[in-house]
Chain A
Amino acid sequence: MIDFAIYLVTVAAIWSVLAISLNLQFGMTGLVNFGQILPFGIGAYAAGIGASLGYPWWVGAIAAIVFAPLCSLAVVFPTRRLSQDYWALITLAAAEIFRLTMLNTPSVAGGADGVMVPRFGSSTTALVVSLALLAVSFLVAERISRSPFGRMLRVLREDEVLASTLGRNPMRYQASVSMVAWIMGAAAGIAYGHFSGYVAPTSFTVTETFIIWTAVILGGPGRNIGVICGAIIIQVLGVSSRFVAQWVDLPSDLVANLRLALFGLLLVVMFIYRPQGLVPERREVRNAARD
């Protein structure tokens, strides 16, 4: 039972970091990123490929942490002047291209079979690392959220033209926040790689990106605690549905698909009927003594 709890908390922590990384981009800044699984994949594969090449764990980790934000710049800079539709498409294409590259280079990335990654010493280590990662990500994201920088991100979300009227260059902010978000995503990927021990392209499809989206929309776009709640709920649903499957003796494939269908339903219903999510954004109240 304890083992199971440790497993659940570890997975929930990793997905919470992913949810926070998307929250920074979409919830706070309004960037519609349909490829957030990409930095996650970079982290996981860097861990795996680094290990398969014989390097110690930190080489892959550093490579991912450096490469992911550079990737984000490559995606943000050239295309930001385009409309949202096209930009979203580019992020989607970028993530898909990454997955296809991993799938089609068996010599480097193991192809469809994936790569093995050396696991953490024990499940407790995995838990501690993931929780530490979550704590750092949360603190960073909160600091950003409550700062003037975060305020300007939200202005960008509401109206980009307003930001440039106020003398700000939108691209600088979008690039900064993207880099931070992608570093977080990559870190989550590294943790995931060492936690699961195995990394394959099937874990990094568009579907996974939208599980992160469901967590953000469900939990509360713009509110870090909210999206953590969303991620936890998603994971609990995932785990409990597996229990239900065993109990009621349904094939696990079927249950997995029904679960995904539920996520899709949640995404739609929440966005239409409660777009602020379960835990809405805080309204910053000015309480100076005035009169």
Chain B
Amino acid sequence: MLQVVINSVVYASEIAIIAIGVSLCYSILRFTNFAHIQLAIVGGYLAYTFASIPGLPLPVAVLLSAIATGLIAVLVDVIVFSRIRNISPEGKMIVSWGVALFIRSMVAAIYGGSAKVFDVPTEVVVMQGAVFTTLDVTVVAVTLVLMVALHAFLYRTRVGSALRALASNYDLAVTRGIPGDRLIRLMWFLSGALAAVGGSLIAMQTRLQPSLDLIILLPVFAAVTIGGISNVFGAVIGAIVLSFAQNLLVWIDFGMIFTGKPWHIPTQFRDYIAVLALLIVLLMKSSRSTGGKK
């Protein structure tokens, strides 16, 4: 059981950092940015590139990648999304897929399709029958630090409060003198940087390849949906709920309970659990909104 908790926490951390960026973007710009996943991939690849500079420690590489990816995200806003502030949300979603396709393909073109492995020094730890690695600990620690920092930023600084004002009522905040455009760029930077860290961590845990985007697509969006798409820290809660649901359901020996022979849900079916969770949450939302829509 401890193993389940550990696995869940680690996985939730990786997903949460990336999912937060989606909610951040939605809360201010009111559309689901499907290109966000690609920023995580870019972050992973940039971290790999920086890390291959001799003498550059891995954490610095990740930091540099975060900054670079944040800047790329701002660039994307400047070139694309700032021109379409006034189109429908569906339009923005469609455009975000065009951007996603472009970014993904360029990454694959530049780096090639073969998988790359991070050279991360990590040790295995065994504690009370549960197995994890020092990298796992790093992942969770980094996520915690980032969450706390983000929360402090949003709730205890003036700039953070301005961002929250924009999120709750954009037009009103702008008339009160809050610089919407500049803060939007800041939001993109934060989103991109967070995504980069998340992508790097996942790449370090597994492997770095362009198809990583498909692997994290469903869990990230499931987490965002479960937590409520415009709720920034809801994404974190969504990630935790999703991760526990996945790991728990895979761990439970359904076979023993029902037939007396051991049988587990195969781990490949974790994604089904993600989609199932997504569907259940959405169906609950949709039934709550009948008979009284505005």
- A-side residues, CB < 8 A to B, are 30, 32, 34, 78-79, 81-82, 84-86, 88-90, 92-93, 96-97, 100, 103-104, 205-207, 210, 213-214, 217, 253-254, 257-261, 263-268, 271-272, 275
Contacts and interface: CB of A to CB of B under 8 A. Distances in A.
B125 interface: no
Given A82-B282, A85-B229, A104 B99 contact: no
B289 interface: yes
A104 B106 contact: no
Please give me the 3 A-B residue pairs with the lowest Cβ-Cβ distance, nearest first. Answer: A264-B101, A264-B102, A267-B98
Interface of B: 26, 31-32, 80, 83-84, 89-91, 93-95, 97-106, 108-109, 112-113, 214, 217-218, 221-222, 225, 229, 266, 268-269, 271-272, 275, 278-279, 282-283, 285-286, 289-290, 293
Does more than half of chain B's interface fall in helix, strand or loop, or is it mixed? Answer: helix
A21 B5 CA distance: 45
A254 to B, nearest CB: 5
Contacts of B90: 30, 32, 84, 88
B108 A205 contact: no
Contact of B109 (A81, A85, A217, A257): A257
A225 to B, nearest CB: 21
B235 to A, nearest CB: 14
A214 B275 CA distance: 26
B278 A89 contact: yes
A90 B98 contact: no
B275 A93 contact: yes
A100 B286 contact: no
A213 B97 contact: yes
A275 B98 CA distance: 13
B109 A88 contact: no
Given A79-B286, A88-B32, A264-B101, A253 B113 contact: yes
A119 B226 CA distance: 45
Contacts of A30: 90
Contacts of B113: 253
A85 B32 contact: yes
Contact of B225 (A89, A260, A265): A89
Contacts of B222: 93
Nearest to A78: B283
Contact of B102 (A96, A268, A275): A268
Contacts of B112: 253-254
A100 B271 contact: yes
Contacts of B271: 96-97, 100
Given A81-B286, A85-B31, A214 B109 contact: no
Nearest to B210: A257
B15 to A, nearest CB: 15
Contact of A213 (B31, B83, B94): B94
A254 B282 contact: no
Contacts of A253: 108, 112-113
